[in-house]
Amino acid sequence: MRDFRKLQVWEKAHQLTLAVYKATTTFPQTELYGLISQTRRACASIPANIAEGCGRATEMELARFMHIAAGSASELEYHLLLAHDLGFLPAAIYTDLHNNVTEIKRMLTSFTQKLKADR
């Protein structure tokens, strides 16, 4: 069992979640149960799955949850693009959030590959 708080990828995902919550406060209220909810849920799922994986007994289980977190990151990537294209996210904020998601996806891939190589 690992302490998820010690993983750099979890910390980056947690900071991204805080930033996404802040960014989505400016979305139209008509999107409260649509894009706001979906974007926040996808984002929060990334560090949540990392944390859950760290609580599992084997490296294989941990790797499975890293894959799930990566899937949530891809979902978030699309929600951010949609929000930008709809004019809800200014270009600078979109670029920053997108770059962070891309970095987290790379980190998750590297971590998963390391877990599989260590078996």
Eight-state DSSP code of residue 4: G
Whether 96 shows a pLDDT value over 80: the answer reads yes
CA 64 to chain centre: 15
The answer to whether the beta carbons of residues 93 and 23 sit under 8 Å apart is yes
The answer to whether the beta carbons of residues 37 and 64 sit under 8 Å apart is no
Q: Which pair of tokens denotes residue 55?
A: 């609580």
Range of the domain at 20: 4-117
For residue 116, what pLDDT is reported?
Answer: 85
The domain that contains 18 carries what CATH number?
1.20.1440.60
| Number of domains observed in the structure of the chain | 1
Eight-state DSSP code of residue 24: H
pLDDT digits (tens, 9 = 90+) for 55-89: 999 999 999 999 999 999 999 999 999 999 999 99
For residue 117, what pLDDT is reported?
Answer: 87
Look up the pTM and report it. 0.95
pLDDT digits (tens, 9 = 90+) for 13-58: 999 999 999 999 999 999 999 999 999 999 999 999 999 999 999 9
- SS3 category, 25: coil
